Structure 1
Amino acid sequence: MALGGNPVFNGKTFRSATRGGTQAAGAGTTMYAGQTMADQQQLEHMYKQPSAGPAQTGRMTFDDVIVKTLLCLGVVLVGAAIPAFVLRDLALPLMVVGALGGFVLGLVNAFRREPSPALILAYAFLEGLFVGGLTMFFEAMWPGIAVQAVVGTFIVFGVTLALFKSGKVRATPKAMKFFMIALISYALFSLVNLGMMVFGATDSMFGMRSEMIPGTNIPFGVVIGLFAIGLAAFSLIIDFTSISEGVRAGAPQKYSWTAAFGLTVTLIWLYVEILRLLAILRGSD
Structure 2
Amino acid sequence: MSLFGLSTSNPAFTGYFWKNSRQQKARGKMSLRGVVLKSIFCLLLVCLTAAVMWKLFFDGVEIKWFTTGGILIAIVCSILISVKREWVLPLTIVYALAKGVFIGGFSAYIHKSYPNLPFQAVIVTMATFFIMLLLYVTRIIKVTQKFKSVVITVTTVIFIIYITSFILRFFGIVISFLWDSSWFAIIFNIVVAIFAALSLLLDFDYIDRYVGKAKKHYEWFTTWGLLVTIIWLYVEVLRLLRKLAVRS
If the TM-score is normalised by the length of the shorter chain, which range does it land in?
0.7 to 0.9
- 3-state SS of 1:58 partner: coil
- 3-state SS of 1:96 partner: helix
Check the 8 A contact 1:149/1:274 in 2, yes or no: yes
| Cα distance in 2, alignment partners of residues 257 and 210 from structure 1 | 33
> Is 2:111 the partner of 1:139?
yes
String of CA shifts for 1:232-260, please: whole Å, max 9, x gaps: 11211111111111114x22111111111
Report what 1:81 is aligned to: 51
| Cα distance in 2, alignment partners of residues 265 and 209 from structure 1 | 20
| Cα distance in 2, alignment partners of residues 253 and 100 from structure 1 | 29
Displacement of 1:142 after TM fit?
A: 0.3
| Cα distance in 1, alignment partners of residues 137 and 43 from structure 2 | 22
Shift in CA distance, 246/224, structure 1 to aligned 2, threshold 3 Å: same
Matches within 5 A, 1:49-198: 58-86=28-56, 88=58, 89-114=61-86, 116-195=88-167, 197-198=169-170
Displacement of 1:273 after TM fit?
A: 0.4
- 3-state SS of 2:62 partner: helix
Q: Cα RMSD (Å) of the superposition?
A: 2.1
Residue among 237, 240, 258 paired with 2:204: 240
Check the 8 A contact 1:58/1:252 in 2, yes or no: yes
Aligned residue type for 2:159: A
Give the share of equivalent positions with the same residue, in percent: 27
> Is 2:176 the partner of 1:207?
yes
| Cα distance in 2, alignment partners of residues 183 and 111 from structure 1 | 23
Residue among 201, 221, 227 paired with 2:185: 221
Alignment gaps of 5+ in structure 2: 1-26
Check the 8 A contact 1:210/1:219 in 2, yes or no: no
| Cα distance in 2, alignment partners of residues 90 and 211 from structure 1 | 24
String of CA shifts for 1:259-284, please: whole Å, max 9, x gaps: 11111111100000000000111112
Report what 2:9 is aligned to: none
Report what 1:284 is aligned to: 247
Check the 8 A contact 1:211/1:220 in 2, yes or no: no
Report what 2:221 is aligned to: 258
Displacement of 1:197 after TM fit?
A: 4.8
> Is 2:230 the partner of 1:267?
yes
| Cα distance in 1, alignment partners of residues 216 and 118 from structure 2 | 35
| Cα distance in 2, alignment partners of residues 280 and 179 from structure 1 | 24
Check the 8 A contact 1:219/1:280 in 2, yes or no: no
Displacement of 1:144 after TM fit?
A: 0.8
Alignment gaps of 5+ in structure 1: 1-56, 213-217
Aligned residue type for 2:40: L
Q: Which has the higher contact order (CA 8 A, sep 6+)?
A: 2
Displacement of 1:111 after TM fit?
A: 4.8
String of CA shifts for 1:127-177, please: whole Å, max 9, x gaps: 100000000010011001011100110111011001000112233222222
- 3-state SS of 2:142 partner: coil
Aligned length: 220
Displacement of 1:229 after TM fit?
A: 1.2
Matches within 5 A, 1:13-28: none
String of CA shifts for 1:176-196, please: whole Å, max 9, x gaps: 222222112112222344455
| Cα distance in 2, alignment partners of residues 132 and 191 from structure 1 | 22
| Cα distance in 2, alignment partners of residues 180 and 145 from structure 1 | 29
Check the 8 A contact 1:138/1:279 in 2, yes or no: yes
- 3-state SS of 1:155 partner: helix
